[in-house]
Amino acid sequence: MASRAKFVAGNWKMHGSLESSVQLASAVSEGTASLSGVGVIVCPVSAHIVSVNQAIENSSVKVGAQNAHHENSGAFTGELSASMLSDLGCEYLIVGHSERRQLFGETDQQVADKVEAALGHDVTPIFCVGETLEEREAGNLEAVINQQLSAVVQRVGIDAFAKVIVAYEPVWAIGTGKTASPEQAQEVHAMIRTMLSSHSTEVATAVSILYGGSVKPGNANDLFSQADIDGGLIGGAALDADSFIAICQAASAV
């Protein structure tokens, strides 16, 4: 792995009671306390953010949210803004997760709005891109990733990517147990870096690109050892403290 900043972020999705979220956060905080060289982030449901933040108060673990509305405030029943999440202590925001794109119809333009909103409140976006199996099999991988990336680059400008984390999550590997092979993942990570370097080599070289999609303790090391993979965005395995800690250890060790 290059000398870029490495991160392992746990996307807890819509899981956990208040009690179990606090317990998981405390266990992650204890279990990763001695690790160096990796930023550890947990992203609970928004309702648990305050309690999770208290549970990890004196640790290096950071809290992120899974979604935000792009406006600061207004008549948007049921929504939360990036500024409100920032007030709660969120330093990171997952944006454009494939579940948001597919299940909630988020468009590339809405994703760009949200990345822009997060950056406007000093919240680091974890900006997700990824193709479906159909898109991959139809030979559209490059076009899909390019379109998803370009929408955000055009909106916020390439220099803003100095404060963006990119996550490549092939949709077919999410929650399916099918992981992209380290070589398949590396190929797309390198492609993303090349696309960004057409705008700025400096920014492209420095940006952290995380891999997500069935990362487990058993495959983390092989994935994280790839030249352009700078850590992971973890779903299912992030709900188990021991598994998540082992994945953080793998990122710290490479």
Q: Which residues are catalytic?
A: 97, 169
**106 is an interface residue for ligand 13P by CB under 6 A:** no
- Of the ranges 53-61, 150-158, 221-229, 232-240, which one interacts with ligand 13P (CB under 6 A)? 232-240
Q: Is 37 in the site for ligand 13P (CB under 6 A)?
A: no
Which residue in the set 31, 39, 125, 212 belongs to the binding site for ligand 13P (CB under 6 A)? 212
Q: Any contact of residue 64 with ligand 13P (CB under 6 A)?
A: no
Nearer to ligand 13P, 184 or 197 (CB): 184
Number of residues that bind ligand 13P (CB under 6 A): 14
Is the Cβ of residue 164 or residue 215 nearer to ligand 13P in the bound state? 215
Q: From CA 95, how far away is CA 86, in angstroms rounded?
A: 15
- Could you tell me if 254 and 40 are in contact, meaning their C-beta atoms sit under 8 angstroms apart? no
Residue 236 binds ligand 13P, judged by CB under 6 A: yes
Which H, E and C letters describe the chain, residue by residue?
A: CCCCCCEEEEECCCCCCHHHHHHHHHHHHHHCCCCCCCEEEEECCHHHHHHHHHHCCCCCCEEEECCCECCCCCCCCCCCEHHHHHHCCCCEEEECCHHHHHHCCCCHHHHHHHHHHHHHCCCEEEEEECCCHHHHHCCCHHHHHHHHHHHHHHHHCHHHHHHCEEEECCHHHCCCCCCCCHHHHHHHHHHHHHHHHCCCHHHHHHCCEEEECCCCHHHHHHHHCCCCCCEEEECHHHHCHHHHHHHHHHHHHC
Residues 174-193 that bind ligand 13P (CB under 6 A): 174-175
Q: How far is the CB of 10 from ligand 13P (least distance, A)?
A: 8
Select 39 or 235, whichever has its Cβ closest to ligand 13P: 235
Question: What is the C-alpha to C-alpha distance for residues 28 and 42, in angstroms, rounded to an integer?
Answer: 9
Interacting span for ligand 13P (CB under 6 A) from 24-32, 113-121, 185-193, 233-241: 233-241
Least distance between ligand 13P and beta carbon 4 (Å) = 20
Site string for ligand 13P, 79-98 (x = CB under 6 A): ------------------x-
130 touches ligand 13P by CB under 6 A: no
Rule CB under 6 A: say whether 214 interacts with ligand 13P. Answer: yes
Closest CB 157 distance from ligand 13P, rounded Å: 26
Other beta carbons within 10 Å of 100:
18
Tokens of 143: 């076009």
Cα(8)–Cα(175) distance, integer angstroms: 17
x/- mask, ligand 13P, residues 141-170, rule CB under 6 A, reads ----------------------------x-
Residue nearest to ligand 13P (CB): 235
Residue ranges that bind ligand 13P, judged by CB under 6 A: 11, 97, 169, 174-175, 212-215, 233-237
